[in-house]
């Protein structure tokens, strides 16, 4: 066993001592307090989501599936939700693999974002029906005989969404059993959580299977996510815009997605701390810890973006210069500058200072900026791709540069409705899934002890080697 001591810096209060009983009572009370009625915000989100779905159907009826341009903003918001909500569970996977103790209150917050996967799957349907086959175009599929790219992208996306729901469910089973055992006076709730707990009794064999299941599903989700994001951005970004060919871009798409996933977790943490009653669990030091990862991904974002930029800038082939003119400098210059500022410059100069990182508000404001910047980044990528005049052309000519993709009223309704529907799905999952994760937080409490070091209380954490 290794001992790790953590002390609160000057000016920050020590984290409150949380007991196992308090964790169980807090999470159980929160799970059982949600009644049959939805809160006002849930009703609003549900209505906006329904309007977005209606706009999606109307767009299909009015525009059909013969042209790419009417579905540019649908692809943009699908890529955005995939980059934010579906990237968040990877934090839980990676921090479990590295056996980080500070992950415990954050794991459930990361996992529950996977509930928005169904929204991405619905948005993919018109994209599936619109984008032409890979035959005759420059794509990663070369001369694949059938089903490329849409069929295979649909399969991997469906597998990713299923793995996300399965990962969330398997992780929550021990907590479902705890809530079940504490809701015996409420017959309806007891039966509900009895079904969700699926016979969990906490035996050694069940815990062994549970740990193995989380490991397998987590690794599967990580692999599927990298695969899905790479194919989605390859097939619905690069391959639709002639002359846009890059081996760096999938890495950039994946890293930028991890950055926005981290930003979404930070914003969710702030909301739950401010209005969700989790201030004892989400103390300032968790924001401090995760902001370091956000700073790291911001630096990697710029490194991969600049790596791709240099290839085109020094290659200077006519088609490649036109790609730069489209996605970076000319047509989509404003979105590019906003993205560069919000996803690299501001995070760098804000999070490099401990005085900003060691606060709750600092990382949260930076994370909000990252989420906004990522929206503009996906706009320049998919706006340029779906605005292409001829995806079968071999070179992007000077007189065929796509113009800026101006959104219609239906596009705006689809984007707003999709984001609202994703948030609604997460809030709906929170009505059933206990928060924080009882079994993880309780397991960490047994590894902690509070001691006095000089004039400061410190928390000593035992960690298995």
Does residue 257 have a pLDDT over 90?
A: yes
What is the C-alpha to C-alpha distance for residues 7 and 420, in angstroms, rounded to an integer? 40
* Tokens matching residue 376: 């503009």
pLDDT in tens, 397-442: 767 788 899 999 999 999 999 999 999 999 999 988 988 888 888 8
Percent of the chain exceeding pLDDT 90 equals: 52
Q: Where are the alpha helices (DSSP H) in 198-244?
A: 204-236
Q: Which of 259, 240, 254 is nearest to 405 (CA)?
A: 240
296 contacts: CB under 8 Å, gap ≥ 6: none
What does the mean pLDDT of the chain come to?
87
Average pLDDT over every residue of 238-254: 87
Q: How far is CA 321 from CA 52, 314, 395, in A?
A: 37, 10, 11
Average pLDDT over every residue of 225-252: 89
According to the model, what pLDDT value does residue 297 have? 94
What SS3 state is found at 277? coil
Q: In this structure, is the dihedral angle defined by the CA atoms of residues 75, 81, 84 and 88, taken in order, positive or negative?
A: negative
Q: How many CB atoms lie within 10 A of CB 172?
A: 24
pLDDT in tens, 366-386: 999 999 999 999 999 999 999
Does residue 269 have a pLDDT over 90?
A: yes
According to the model, what pLDDT value does residue 3 have? 45
What is the C-alpha to C-alpha distance for residues 250 and 234, in angstroms, rounded to an integer? 7
What is the C-alpha to C-alpha distance for residues 289 and 88, in angstroms, rounded to an integer? 16
Residue 419 near residue 81, CB atoms below 8 Å: yes
Average pLDDT over every residue of 38-55: 92
Average pLDDT over every residue of 98-117: 89
What is the C-alpha to C-alpha distance for residues 137 and 393, in angstroms, rounded to an integer? 8
17 versus 111: the higher-pLDDT residue is 111
Residue 56 near residue 414, CB atoms below 8 Å: yes
Q: List residues bridging with 7 in a β-sheet.
A: 458
What is the C-alpha to C-alpha distance for residues 282 and 360, in angstroms, rounded to an integer? 9
* Tokens matching residue 120: 């991405």
* Tokens matching residue 277: 């009653």
Residue 262 near residue 110, CB atoms below 8 Å: no
What is the C-alpha to C-alpha distance for residues 228 and 117, in angstroms, rounded to an integer? 12
Average pLDDT over every residue of 132-150: 77
Q: Where are the alpha helices (DSSP H) in 16-39?
A: 20-32
According to the model, what pLDDT value does residue 5 have? 46
Q: Where are the domains of the chain?
A: 2-463
Average pLDDT over every residue of 5-21: 61
Q: List residues bridging with 2 in a β-sheet.
A: 463
Work out the burial of residue 296: count CB atoms within 10 Å of its CB; fewer than 13 is exposed, 13-18 middle, 19 or more buried. middle
According to the model, what pLDDT value does residue 2 have? 44
Residue 335 near residue 380, CB atoms below 8 Å: yes
Question: pLDDT-based confidence at 450, cuts 50/70/90?
Answer: confident
Average pLDDT over every residue of 96-112: 87
Residue in the structure block whose two tokens are 């815009």: 241
């Amino acid at each position: 066993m290794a001992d790790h001591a953590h002390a609160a810096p000057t000016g920050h209060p020590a984290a409150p001592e949380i007991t196992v009983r308090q964790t169980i009572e807090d999470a159980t009370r929160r799970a059982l307090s949600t009644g049959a009625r939805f809160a006002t915000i849930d009703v609003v989100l549900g209505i906006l989501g329904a309007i977005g779905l209606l706009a999606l159907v109307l767009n299909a009826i009015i525009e059909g599936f013969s042209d790419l341009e009417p579905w540019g903003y649908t692809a943009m918001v699908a890529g955005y939700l995939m980059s934010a909500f579906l990237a968040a569970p990877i934090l839980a996977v990676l921090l479990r693999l590295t056996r980080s103790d500070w992950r415990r209150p954050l794991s459930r917050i990361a996992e529950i974002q996977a509930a928005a996967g169904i929204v991405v799957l619905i948005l993919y349907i018109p994209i599936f029906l619109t984008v032409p086959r890979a035959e005759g175009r420059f794509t990663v599929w070369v001369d694949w005989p059938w089903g490329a790219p849409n069929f295979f992208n649909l399969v991997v996306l469906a597998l990713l969404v299923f793995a996300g729901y399965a990962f969330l469910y398997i992780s929550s089973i021990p907590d479902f059993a705890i809530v079940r055992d504490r809701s015996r006076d409420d017959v309806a709730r007891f039966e509900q959580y009895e079904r969700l707990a699926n016979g969990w009794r906490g035996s050694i064999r069940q815990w062994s299977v549970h740990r193995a299941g989380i490991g397998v599903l987590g690794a599967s989700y990580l692999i599927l996510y990298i695969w899905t994001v790479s194919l989605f951005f390859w097939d619905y970004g690069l391959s639709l815009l002639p002359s846009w060919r890059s081996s760096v871009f999938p890495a950039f798409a994946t890293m930028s997605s991890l950055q926005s996933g981290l930003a979404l977790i930070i914003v969710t943490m702030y909301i739950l701390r401010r209005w969700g009653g989790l201030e004892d669990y989400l103390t300032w030091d968790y924001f401090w810890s995760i902001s370091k990862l956000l700073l790291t991904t911001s630096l990697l974002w710029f490194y991969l973006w600049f790596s791709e930029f240099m290839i085109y800038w020094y290659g200077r082939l006519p088609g490649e210069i036109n790609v730069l003119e489209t996605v970076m400098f000319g047509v989509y210059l404003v979105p590019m500058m906003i993205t560069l500022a919000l996803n690299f410059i501001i995070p760098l100069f804000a999070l490099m200072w401990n005085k900003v990182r060691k606060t709750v508000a600092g990382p949260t404001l930076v994370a909000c900026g990252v989420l906004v910047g990522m929206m503009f980044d996906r706009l320049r990528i998919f706006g340029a791709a779906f605005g292409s005049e001829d995806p079968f052309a071999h070179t992007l000519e000077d007189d065929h540069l796509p113009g800026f993709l101006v959104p219609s009223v239906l596009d705006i309704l689809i984007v707003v409705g999709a984001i609202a529907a994703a948030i609604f799905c997460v809030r709906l999952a929170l009505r059933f899934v206990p928060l924080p994760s009882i079994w993880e937080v309780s397991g960490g409490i047994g590894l902690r002890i509070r001691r006095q070091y000089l004039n400061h209380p410190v928390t000593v954490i035992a960690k298995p080697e």
